[in-house]
Amino acid sequence: MNVIEVQGLTKRYGDKTVVDNVSLTVREGEISGFLGPNGSGKTTMIRMMCGLLTPNQGTGRVLGMDLRTQAAKIKREVGYMTQRFSFYEDLTIEENLAFVARLYQLKPVHEHVKKALDRLGLTQRRSQLAGRLSGGWKQRLALAASVMHTPKLLLLDEPTAGVDPKARRDFWDEIHGFAADGMTVLVSTHYMDEAERCHRINYIFDGRLLTGGTVAEVIEQAGLTTMVLEGARADESIDRLLMMDGVDQVAPFGLVLHVVGQDRAALQKSVDQVASEFDLVASQGTTSLEDVFIQLMKTPMAAES
């Protein structure tokens, strides 16, 4: 069953098209990653799917409800965590959650608040002012508020921006816990390690959906070859590599270079030549999700130039 099923969604502001003919499905119980650089249209897409924005074109259903005619009902049935912290900073964690519980008409309020505090590990901090929380604890408060009404679909917009690695990992452990309980999650991010924790991913660039599938499927579909060059003169070889046939990307990692291209034969020949010139050791590498996304960003640019 598809919890989200939209076709041809388009959103314009004047002459600017922010989302351009995007079709997307999200299956029940999966964690679906929505990836792309800043300004690619992820937030606009999420706001259309949760009923906050009306598309200029396109149709779709979210939780079985029509995106255009039942937007108000969709807003009440989904959980939405915005990119920017949007709670009252002069209220405590407990007071903020109580306010949200009343908005959703959850009764008795104190029981729903207690459950949310316990579920997200906020009980010991319930009397702390929201404005004095670190980024990671603000994130937990926002997540607790988003799931208080037990939504079947949770939409998360760049939820881990600006938090430390441990807070990010803890957050994702919580997300997988919700998914294990049957909740469907759509999360936007530009972190590759987070994308790899999703069941399926969709990549949007400049308002257009470029690819989708499991991580393994997206990497395979890209058809890229990655070679590794290692040695003391690796950095010296970068300019030379970028002039060679078959080389689309060169990324340094210490004394190691990752060299990526679409033409395997041309790439192999160029890498072998540069390895000989700079006394480097060449070997076969593994194409990463980051390699794929950098390539996807380059491809539309080349098409438009």
Chain centroid offset of residue 89 CA: 27
3-class SS of residue 89? coil
Digit-by-digit pLDDT tens for the chain (305 residues) are: 899 999 999 999 999 999 999 999 999 999 999 998 888 999 999 999 999 999 999 999 999 999 999 999 999 999 999 988 889 999 999 999 999 999 999 999 999 999 999 999 999 999 999 999 998 899 999 999 999 999 999 999 998 877 888 888 889 999 999 999 999 999 998 888 899 999 999 999 999 999 999 999 999 999 999 999 999 999 999 999 999 999 999 999 888 999 999 999 999 999 999 999 999 999 999 999 999 998 988 765 433 43
Q: Does the domain made of 225-286 have the CATH classification 1.10.15.40?
A: no
In the chain, beta strands by DSSP E: 2-13, 16-27, 31-35, 57-62, 65-66, 78-81, 153-157, 184-189, 200-205, 208-213, 225-230, 249-253, 256-261, 281-284
Q: Does the domain made of 2-213 have the CATH classification 3.40.50.1100?
A: no
Q: Quick one: which of 20, 1, 7, 2 has its CA closest to 60?
A: 7
CA distances from 208 to 24, 204, 289 (A): 11, 5, 18
The span from the CA of 212 to the CA of 224, in Å, is 16
User: 54, 10 in Cβ contact below 8 A?
Assistant: no
Domain positions in the chain are 2-213, 225-286
| Per-residue model confidence as pLDDT tens digits over 65-124 | 999 999 999 999 999 999 888 899 999 999 999 999 999 999 999 999 999 999 999 999
Angle at 172 between CA 171 and CA 178, to 5 degrees: 95
User: 83, 43 in Cβ contact below 8 A?
Assistant: yes
Amino acid at 128: Q
Q: Which residues contact 170 (CB under 8 A, 6 or more apart)?
A: 136
